[in-house]
Structure 1
Amino acid sequence: MTTTPSSDTDADRALKARHRAMWALGDYPAVAADLIPELGAALVDAVRVVDGDDVLDVAAGSGNAAIPAALAGGRVVASDLCPDLLDAGQARAAERGAVLDWQVGDAEALPFPDGRFDVVLSCVGVMFAPRHRCCADEMVRVTRPGGRIGLVNWTPEGFIGEMFAAMKPYAPAPPPGAQPPPLWGRPDHVRTLFGDRITDVRERRGAVRIGSFGTAEAFRDYFKANYGPTIAAYRNVAGDPEKVAALDHDLAALARRYDLGGGAMDWEYLMLTAARADARAR
């Protein structure tokens, strides 16, 4: 089995531990199920998962894309750095009658052989790993030549991209070399990461209509209680009441600006699909 080694320094191990802990905060499985349940299924349709495909969902979380891929007939491995999310996904899969393999794995050093999968995808997951090029390298490596790669990522200009920009002054400092997650929502950035290793690239912007929040404050309080990165930002400034109040204000103001009426919002994403190029043809 060939893998791309991840850095094994104390700093890297500490970084991975912080990421696992952050995504275990709150209740991300509820966030995914409550707000974006259709997003993973849309990606599965776009990469045309069919019966018998070997499928890998990278940074799968609780299975937003992995479970629909299994229900479409794929032989699915759901991989994520956070075991708590995989446990929640396994329970959700059982409720829906989906059978798949759940494995702890780092998107920057996937524990799978070269060319193992027909389809490799990630739905608002891989974008949160700090080293984008490592992740792209790994996704290409484990895809067979001619296999399909599919991504859904929040755009920098959309609501979630703006939310991360709003939280940045209050959040812990990113590790050296880390790139902002919403860059994965820029087509030029993704094309640069993959280069000529992919072909038949198709991209489109879409939006998820969110209608769960009656007020901007209700949105803020939901994310404050359930979404790991938001919880981490609040914990980082917990000792400074003025900063806590400022973060409260900024998140509510952002939601108010996107309010379409009654608390409904559109959250923009980029969907990109491609095929892994055959190295012999390049």
Structure 2
Amino acid sequence: MTPSTDAVETDRALKAKHRKMWALGNYPAVASQLIPSLGPVLVEACGVRVGRRVLDVAAGSGNAAIPAAATGAEVVALDLTPELFDAGRERAAEEGVAVEWREGDAEALPFPDEDFDTVMSCVGIMFAPHHQAAADEALRVLRPGGTVGLISWTPTGAIGELFKTMKPYAPTPPPGAQPPPLWGTLDHVRELFGDRVTDLDAQTRTVHIGLFQEPADCREFFKNNYGPTIAIYRNIADDPDRVRALDGALDALAQRCLEDGGTDGMDWEYLLVTARKA
């Protein structure tokens, strides 16, 4: 069934909004200062190696694409927000690896069927608003027997709680858009992939974040660097009471995370999933 003109325009506007949001602040700083270890974890879990053709969906600045390329694999890094590629290109050049950078939508991948040996995403594809469409596209471009690998923030972990905390201050999401941390729920991933995959393995892990010593440090880092947080603060910028309330809520969340993480930082929970296309 061909989408109506109105539906196409609505989707185009939504994707433009997402692109603008992720271009806010400095996501490459988030990736490099907070979670640089996640990309290599995903690459290892997917068994990426020389000779493999790899797609990193919603790659950002290449947190997973660059270590994948370092194995000798042929890597394409795709993202809706090409403004993030400059930092990725610079880092790839520093490390002496080749990555092909492509602008594109996770829900409409610009590649033929069965084009890749590995399709992976490191806290990226989870932010595509229509989860089933993104999952269908990831499997469409993957060859039979190929590996799909995902790292996603869990709903109950620090970033899942961050989105829950920010939700009351955010605009109402468009119809059909789903919360990103659902990808961090195994039952949801099983439902999205169904019987199109085999050998599905899921592990709940944590990544240690040692950058923040005080709640305000964490809050200000996200307010200055993380696109979704910046967008929500802009949404309430004309209401000082709501700004103060969100400041307080984020500080309280950061305090809980610091207490749970012990004396030297926070532990952020994520779900690592790998599977083979049937």
Is TM more than 0.5 here?
Answer: yes
Deviations 1:26-51 (A, max 9, x none): 00001100000010100000010010
AA in 2 matched with 1:146? G
Match status 1:39 vs 2:38: yes
1:168 is paired with a residue of what secondary structure? helix
1:60-71 correspondence runs (5 A):
60-71=59-70
AA in 2 matched with 1:272? V
C-alpha distance in structure 1 between counterparts of 2:104 and 2:98, whole Å = 19
Residue 258 (structure 1) aligns with: 257
C-alpha distance in structure 1 between counterparts of 2:120 and 2:4, whole Å = 20
Deviation of 1:263 (Å): 6.0
C-alpha distance in structure 2 between counterparts of 1:221 and 1:5, whole Å = 42
Q: TM-score, normalised by structure 2?
A: 0.96
C-alpha distance in structure 2 between counterparts of 1:173 and 1:104, whole Å = 27
Number of residue pairs the alignment of both structures matches: 274
Deviation of 1:172 (Å): 2.0
1:9 is paired with a residue of what secondary structure? helix
1:1-282 correspondence runs (5 A):
9-259=8-258, 260-262=261-263, 264-277=265-278
2:189 is paired with a residue of what secondary structure? helix
C-alpha distance in structure 1 between counterparts of 2:95 and 2:111, whole Å = 27
Bigger shift: 33-42 or 261-270? Answer: 261-270
C-alpha distance in structure 2 between counterparts of 1:79 and 1:240, whole Å = 37
AA in 2 matched with 1:62? S
C-alpha distance in structure 2 between counterparts of 1:5 and 1:189, whole Å = 25
Deviations 1:38-89 (A, max 9, x none): 1010000001001010000000000010000000111000000001012221
Change (3 A) 1:139 1:5: farther
C-alpha distance in structure 1 between counterparts of 2:116 and 2:29, whole Å = 29
2:168 is paired with a residue of what secondary structure? coil
CA contact (8 A) 1:213 1:262 kept: no
What 5-or-longer segments of structure 2 have no aligned partner? none
What 5-or-longer segments of structure 1 have no aligned partner? 278-282
2:121 is paired with a residue of what secondary structure? strand
Identity %: 63
1:60 is paired with a residue of what secondary structure? coil
C-alpha distance in structure 2 between counterparts of 1:102 and 1:182, whole Å = 26
Change (3 A) 1:251 1:228: same
1:162 is paired with a residue of what secondary structure? helix
1:26 is paired with a residue of what secondary structure? coil
1:266 is paired with a residue of what secondary structure? strand
CA contact (8 A) 1:215 1:263 kept: no
Q: TM-score, normalised by structure 1?
A: 0.95
C-alpha distance in structure 2 between counterparts of 1:11 and 1:212, whole Å = 39
Change (3 A) 1:82 1:189: same
Deviation of 1:5 (Å): 8.5
Residue 280 (structure 1) aligns with: none
C-alpha distance in structure 2 between counterparts of 1:150 and 1:144, whole Å = 14
**CA RMSD of superposed structures (Å):** 1.5
